[in-house]
């Protein structure tokens, strides 16, 4: 497989971390926040999660690609380097919008065995 195009320029918006992935008050983000906080990430140092997600995108190959009317979404799967060094398997999703070249984070979440089996079934 291939790496995320222009992954070295990938962008993780602060709001994506502080109002979603580490926000325990976010209706959609709460389960993800509980997950990432359990591995040592904190709102106070949100940049650590942003950096870890960028490194995740650079370290692992693209698992799947989906074209939408807005651009291309890339799923990347593999271990995420965490503050507590347990390094769980995570799927990060990145998008490159039409007429753009720089990927931006869409979301990230734990990749569990059920996800992997479902993905294997679709290959």
> What are the tokens at 55?
């490194």
Integer Cα distance of 75 and 64 in angstroms: 5
- Strand, coil or helix: 81: coil
* Per-residue pLDDT tens over the stretch 66-111: 999 999 999 999 999 999 999 999 999 999 999 999 999 999 999 9
The pairing of strands 71-79 and 89-97 is antiparallel
pTM more than 0.85? yes
* Per-residue pLDDT tens over the stretch 5-51: 999 999 999 999 999 999 999 999 999 999 999 999 999 999 999 99
Predicted confidence at residue 121, as pLDDT, reads 43
């Amino acid at each position: 497989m291939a790496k995320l195009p222009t992954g070295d320029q990938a962008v993780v918006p602060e709001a994506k971390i502080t109002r979603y992935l580490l926000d325990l008050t976010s209706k959609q983000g709460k389960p993800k926040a509980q997950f990432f906080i359990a591995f040592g990430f904190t709102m106070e140092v949100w940049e650590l999660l942003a950096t870890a997600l960028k490194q995740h995108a650079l370290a692992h190959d693209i698992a799947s690609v989906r074209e939408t009317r807005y651009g291309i979404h890339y799923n990347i799967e593999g271990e995420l380097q965490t503050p507590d060094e347990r390094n769980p398997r995570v799927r990060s999703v990145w998008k490159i919008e039409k007429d753009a070249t720089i990927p931006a984070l869409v979301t990230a979440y734990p990749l569990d065995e059920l996800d992997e089996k479902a993905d294997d079934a679709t290959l």
